[in-house]
Amino acid sequence: MANLIFKYSAMNGGKTINILQTAYSYEDKGFKIVIIKSKKDTKGKDNIVARNGMMRKVDILLKENESLLTEKNYKLYYTAKVILVDEVELLSEKQIKELWYIAHLINIPVLCYGLKSNFKGEIFGEGVSKIFAIADIVEEIGSSSFCICGQKAIFNARKVNDKFTDTGPTIVIEDGTKENVEYVPLCSDCYLKYVKIHSNEAKTLAKLVDKVR
Ligand SMILES: [Zn+2]
């Protein structure tokens, strides 16, 4: 039986390199693969691009409301040994459900790579909620990503013009805006220290801690 698998890590956790390596090892044995990414990921256009500069063209560049269950796509799935999805957090709930059908109706493994949380520290969106609910296997990518302090990163903090922020739209691609947006993987301690410390809830709690200390 094939599975729908969700592999997650914080940003810079080696997800795209992991996909490219997986793609290579299948193709090296002569198997066909299908790579999918959302059109919302404007970085690299119709390529997936790893931080080390490695890239490859996707087979399906999925539009926001586009269905994965089309005749044209089915033809691709039937010839492939595995389906690889990059930045799965950008897919809709419906598209995640379709991936589950593909895994179990066609009996082909569907490996999805992505983030579990956004820069606010919340579940990234409806697609991520859905994949947590229905994936056969959920696993953290082993190499994972590291915080600036050296601890394991959990959060994907956003910096705009060099300042941490936890407000703004959920999806802003690093090179997709005029503003200087970058993401910094942080551990919980550093996320509190650099991002959350100015929030009212953090200030109230800090006061309470000082009081009882
Ligand atoms: Zn840290």
Residue 128: pLDDT band (50, 70, 90) is very high
Q: Mean of the per-residue pLDDT values for the chain?
A: 92
pLDDT of residue 207: 85
- Only one residue has tokens 């947006």, namely 181
Q: Are 150 and 115 in contact (CB under 8 A)?
A: no
Q: Are 101 and 69 in contact (CB under 8 A)?
A: yes
pLDDT of residue 59: 97
Which amino acid, residue 133?
A
Question: Ligand 1 centre from 66 Cα, in Å?
Answer: 39
Residue 209: pLDDT band (50, 70, 90) is confident
Q: Tell whether the model's pLDDT for residue 143 goes beyond 70.
A: no
Query: Which residues, including other chains, have CB under 8 Å from residue 92's CB and lie 6 or more apart?
Result: 64, 65, 126, 127
Q: Tell whether the model's pLDDT for residue 94 goes beyond 80.
A: yes
Question: Ligand 1 centre from 203 Cα, in Å?
Answer: 20
pLDDT, tens only, 147-177: 999 999 999 999 999 999 988 888 887 765 5
Who surrounds ion ligand 1 at CB < 5 A?
147, 149, 151, 187, 190
Q: Tell whether the model's pLDDT for residue 144 goes beyond 80.
A: no
- Residues assigned a catalytic role: 87
Question: Ligand 1 centre from 140 Cα, in Å?
Answer: 18
Q: Are 191 and 157 in contact (CB under 8 A)?
A: yes
pLDDT of residue 173: 79
The range of the structural domain enclosing residue 197 comes to 4-212
CATH assignment at residue 11: 3.40.50.300
Neighbours of 186 (CB within 10 A): 28
Residue 11: pLDDT band (50, 70, 90) is confident
pLDDT of residue 110: 98
Question: Ligand 1 centre from 163 Cα, in Å?
Answer: 16
How far apart CA 205 and CA 211 sit, in angstroms, is: 10
pTM over 0.85: yes
pLDDT, tens only, 23-77: 999 999 999 999 999 999 988 899 998 888 889 999 999 999 999 999 999 999 9
What percent of the chain clears pLDDT 70, i.e. is strictly above it? 98
Question: Ligand 1 centre from 187 Cα, in Å?
Answer: 4
Specify the number of domains making up the chain: 1
Question: Phi and psi at residue 74, in whole multiples of 5°?
Answer: -55, -40
Question: Phi and psi at residue 23, in whole multiples of 5°?
Answer: -60, -45
